[in-house]
Amino acid sequence: MRWRDSKQSYNVEDRRGQEPMQAGMGGAGLLRLLPFLLRTKIGRIVLIAGAAFYAFQYFTGVNMLQGGMPDTSSSAMSGEQAAASSNDENRQFVAAILGTTETVWQQKLGGDYKEPTLVLYSGMTQTGCGVGQAQTGPFYCPADQKVYLDLSFMNELKKLGAPGDFAFAYVIAHEVGHHVQKLLGTSDQVHQAQQTSGKAQANTLSVMLELQADCYAGVWGHEVNKQMNMLEEGDIEEGIQAANAVGDDRLQQAAGQAVHPDSFTHGSSAQRIEWFKRGFESGDMTACDTFAELK
């Protein structure tokens, strides 16, 4: 992809290198322990000592967990970490791809499009949907309207047979597709319908939602190719390989399991390729009505 000269999005929140407490995970865990700690004398002493410990760090700027060196940055990262982050090619790539999704969906939805934030993290992080973990792969949280991404997934895609920058860009565009669904009310309608559905029907609705996000990723791909001339030879094939690699049947086989279509939540490889190609070939959102057969 010719992405280096494209505008980078400012909506990237970089939490890499942060401890779980810094990444917003400490508060929820403490609240769960609070009733227990308050019931015992030792627990109350622990709470007082902990409060004093963090108050000392807050007012002195000295981080006792990092060798007693002052934390002079305004964020959780040090100045050196922030500089390294800004020069990180992977981060620049993510910001560039996110920037293209902003351009495309602002054109498609106009003033109704609200840009999502993309959070880079390592290992695990706190989200509006609970604790996010790298092993679950990239995901979109509708509660806080953020996309969460651990860059280690780039290596996972390669292992699954989908290397290349456009393959990873497709993944980002798919998650932004879920954000579009949130803004349009589609995901809320689906989640409401799932509450009164049996497991098989709920899974079918989930598949339709995921395939529509694949189609929206294809619409994005159509526009970055037609308007921005960003695609190079082989990029489309990379996107198709990525869609193939993350099909439910392919993943079940890779895990040594039998293929059970009733348990699919994202769609088969063939379905994901088909809907990505529909969006890519048409560039038309109306071509992405995966729910038509259910109406």
pLDDT tens figures, 150-178: 999 989 889 888 889 999 999 999 999 99
Q: Could you tell me where the beta strands, DSSP code E, fall in the chain?
A: 12-14, 62-63, 69-70, 117-120, 124-127, 130-133, 139-141, 146-149
* Residue 116 contacts residue 187 (beta carbons within 8 Å): no
Judged by DSSP in three states, 244 sits in: helix
Q: What value does the CA radius of gyration of the chain take, rounded to a whole number of Å?
A: 22
Both tokens assigned to 157: 């895609």
Burial of 251 per CB tally in 10 Å (0-12, 13-18, 19+): middle
How does residue 100 score in pLDDT terms, banded at 50, 70 and 90?
Answer: very high
The whole-number average pLDDT for the span 110-120 is: 96
pLDDT for res 35? 57
pLDDT for res 160? 87
Percent with pLDDT over 90 in the chain: 67
With a cut of 80, say whether residue 77 has pLDDT above it: no
With a cut of 90, say whether residue 52 has pLDDT above it: no
With a cut of 80, say whether residue 62 has pLDDT above it: no
Beta bridge partners of 136: none
Beta-carbon-side half-sphere exposure of residue 111 (alpha carbons within 13 Å): 0
Q: Could you tell me where the beta strands, DSSP code E, fall in 114-251?
A: 117-120, 124-127, 130-133, 139-141, 146-149
pLDDT for res 46? 57
With a cut of 60, say whether residue 59 has pLDDT above it: no
Distances (CA, A) of 252 to 187, 223, 259, 266, 285: 25, 33, 6, 12, 30
Of the candidate ranges 10-19, 96-105, 107-116, the one whose mean pLDDT is the lowest: 10-19
With a cut of 80, say whether residue 246 has pLDDT above it: yes
Distances (CA, A) of 176 to 16, 87, 97, 165: 21, 24, 10, 17
How does residue 293 score in pLDDT terms, banded at 50, 70 and 90?
Answer: confident
CA dihedral (41, 42, 46, 47) in degrees, to 10, reads: -20
The total of other beta-carbon atoms located within 10 Å of residue 258's CB is 7
Percent with pLDDT over 70 in the chain: 76
With a cut of 60, say whether residue 84 has pLDDT above it: no
For 83-115, letters b (16+ CB in 10 Å) and e give: eebeebeebbbbbbbbbbbbbbbeebeeeebeb
With a cut of 50, say whether residue 229 has pLDDT above it: yes
pLDDT for res 63? 42
